[in-house]
Amino acid sequence: MLNRSQAWAVALLAAAFVVGVVVGAGGEAAWARHAHAADPGRGRGLERMKANLDRELGLAGTQRDSVHATLDRHWARMTTAWETVRPRFDSLRAQMDSDVARQLTPEQQARYRDLVARYRHHTEKTDGGGKRP
Q: Give 50-101 pLDDT, tens digit per residue.
A: 999 999 999 899 999 999 999 999 998 988 998 999 999 899 989 999 999 9
Q: Output the average pLDDT for the chain.
A: 78
| Cα(133)–Cα(130) distance, integer angstroms | 9
Under 8 Å between Cβ of 86 and 130 = yes
Please name the amino acid found at residue 72: D
Q: Report residue 41's pLDDT band, with 50, 70 and 90 as the boundaries.
A: very low
Under 8 Å between Cβ of 54 and 41 = yes
DSSP secondary structure letter of residue 2:
-
Sign of the dihedral defined by the CA atoms of residues 31, 35, 37, 40, in that order: negative
